[in-house]
Amino acid sequence: MRVAKFIALSLICISLTACVSSLIFGNQAQSKLMWALLKPLVGFDPNEVNLFETPMIKNRMTKLLGNKYEPTMKLLRTAQEIQKEGALFYVSSRYAPPKFQEITDKAAMVWNADTNQMAVLLIKDGTPEIISEQMDKTKQTITPVLPVELQTAYNKAVEKNKELEKIKNHVENLSDTLVEETNQITTELLEEATKEDKNE
């Protein structure tokens, strides 16, 4: 309990320092403060240390996600551990897959220590999306790097989406063909009925 209180107090101090430093020194100071915040928390439950309520995280997430913030956070709050892979610090949701849905809804927050870029992976109702920050002074788009676990989940969702799109297109084509054939048969039957009426 004491450790959790100490960590929470430390987070508040770091967050306040982050707000002031980012105003004074900019992106580089913010990157160092993010590192100082996340590095000692690897392995901790993000909910126990109030990671998502830390202003440094919350402000960036709300700005990045806009109206997708609440649905994303609902998923993210199921996360159990702050993880690290190389320069990537990330938190990934742990939702059980719904019974009739092949792809699990998933959300993940990723911060890249090398670029100070924050990105969010969101898979909602089988549709994958990566939302990422772009540094203001950068002219080129920075493609976010994902940890292996998240890249695999994203690729799987993309592939499944392609399959579903193919099936949907196939069904639409069959439906169009069926309508055309039905119209043709109806026209032929009407023509035959008209001929018989004339013959009588």
pTM for this entry: 0.69
Q: d(Cα 129, Cα 94) in Å, to the nearest integer? A: 17
pLDDT tier at 23 (50, 70, 90 boundaries)?
very low
For the chain, the domains span 2-145
pLDDT tier at 108 (50, 70, 90 boundaries)?
very high
State the alpha helices, DSSP H only, in the chain.
2-25, 27-38, 55-65, 69-76, 148-199
Stronger pLDDT, 57 or 181, i.e. the higher one: 57
Question: What local confidence, expressed as pLDDT, does residue 22 receive?
Answer: 43
Looking at the predicted structure, is the pLDDT value of residue 8 above 60?
Answer: no
What count of other Cβ atoms lies within 10 Å of the Cβ of residue 58? 16
Q: φ and ψ at 80, to 5 degrees?
A: -115, -15
Looking at the predicted structure, is the pLDDT value of residue 53 above 50?
Answer: yes
- For the segment 136-195, what is each residue's pLDDT rounded down to a tens digit? 665 667 788 999 999 998 998 888 878 777 777 767 766 767 777 777 777 767 777 677
Question: What local confidence, expressed as pLDDT, does residue 165 receive?
Answer: 74
Stronger pLDDT, 123 or 186, i.e. the higher one: 123
Q: φ and ψ at 88, to 5 degrees?
A: -100, 125
Tell me the DSSP string of 130-174.
EEE---TT-SSPPPPP--HHHHHHHHHHHHHHHHHHHHHHHHHHH
Average pLDDT score over residue span 124-130:
88
Chain mean pLDDT for the chain: 80
Handedness of CA 122, 118, 22, 12 (dihedral sign): positive
Average pLDDT score over residue span 68-83:
94
Stronger pLDDT, 52 or 136, i.e. the higher one: 52
Question: What local confidence, expressed as pLDDT, does residue 20 receive?
Answer: 44
Q: d(Cα 29, Cα 45) in Å, to the nearest integer? A: 26
